[in-house]
């Protein structure tokens, strides 16, 4: 075998090893990205389990509609700075605005987050939109990431009016479920 042929085989072998290494690195990067996005999603979803956030949601859903009828309360939304003690609903707007920025920049996967939270995003945007509208009279771009998130949630719902699944899930066979439960409870 000539030295040129040996050199050619060595070059091809080197190329194959480098190509395989590059492919392995790309696969690892993909898995790392998915792992990071899952971690980010879990962190975001965990925020909504905090008692303070539950209090804000309760305030927004139960007290805010009545407070919005008060002209003094609405006028407080145009002041700068806004008194957050008087307007705790803005903390929820801030939270959704932050999450919207994470989704827009790809730090949190849009599809995963919206599948888990689309309904609450749309509901909370609907309730908070009048608040945002008043705030924007003096601060035009306020909470635009929250609005982006709401828009994406509405778009998801319009694309999948009957749910994310391709077809309806099969009905649950309650008798089989009872039988399994009875079986597992036996000593």
Q: What is the mean pLDDT of each run of 10 residues along the chain (187 residues)?
A: 80 82 78 72 83 94 96 94 95 96 90 90 96 95 96 91 68 71 55
Tell me what pLDDT residue 130 has: 97
Q: What is the pTM of this model?
A: 0.72
Tell me what pLDDT residue 118 has: 92
Tell me what pLDDT residue 11 has: 84
Tell me what pLDDT residue 47 has: 85
Residues with Cβ < 8 Å from 18, sequence gap 6 or more?
A: none
Judge contact between 146 and 93, C-beta under 8 A: yes
Tell me what pLDDT residue 137 has: 94
Tell me what pLDDT residue 187 has: 52
């Amino acid at each position: 075998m000539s030295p040129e042929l040996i050199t050619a085989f060595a070059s091809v072998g080197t190329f194959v090893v480098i190509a395989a290494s590059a492919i392995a690195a790309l696969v690892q990067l993909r898995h790392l990205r998915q792992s990071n996005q899952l971690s980010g999603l879990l962190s975001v979803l965990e925020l909504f389990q905090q008692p303070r956030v539950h209090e804000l949601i309760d305030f927004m859903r139960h007290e805010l509609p009545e407070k919005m009828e008060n002209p003094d309360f609405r006028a407080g939304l145009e002041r700068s700075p806004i008194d957050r003690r008087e307007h705790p609903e803005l903390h929820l707007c801030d939270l959704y605005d932050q999450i919207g920025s994470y989704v827009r920049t790809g730090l949190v996967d849009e599809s995963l987050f919206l599948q888990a939270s689309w309904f609450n995003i749309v509901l909370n945007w609907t309730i908070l939109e009048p608040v945002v509208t008043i705030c924007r009279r003096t601060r035009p771009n306020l909470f635009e990431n929250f609005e982006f998130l709401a828009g994406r949630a509405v778009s998801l719902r319009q694309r999948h009016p009957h749910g994310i699944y391709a077809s309806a899930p099969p009905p649950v066979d309650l008798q089989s479920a009872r039988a399994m439960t009875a079986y597992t409870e036996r000593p």
